[in-house]
Amino acid sequence: MPDVQRVALTCDQCGQTDDHPKVHIGEVTKHHDCLNFQEDEMVRTSSPQAATIIDDCKGGLRGEKLLARIEKLHSSAKGK
């Protein structure tokens, strides 16, 4: 996995500031498991990879394992 710069951002839903992966929808930044129903559906329909990441996060995947999963999904999408 390439060396990735992790930046702490604040989740606009829960208010927690951390360097965990987040979804960016326009000006809104949220943890994958903090999305409301409409945002969740919008992101899920945007790509199969996004739906997988949301499911993984809501299933409890966190930290380095979640980052590795995201990188793997992005790499496989670029190869298509």
- 2-40 pLDDT, tens digit per residue, is 556 778 999 999 999 998 888 999 999 999 889 999 999
d(CA 21, CA 23) in angstroms, rounded, equals 7
Q: Name beta bridge partners: 17.
A: 10
d(CA 43, CA 39) in angstroms, rounded, equals 6
Amino acid identity of residue 20, one-letter, is H
The pair of three-digit structure tokens given for residue 41, joined into one six-digit string = 């559906």
Average pLDDT, the chain: 87
The per-residue pLDDT for 3 is: 58
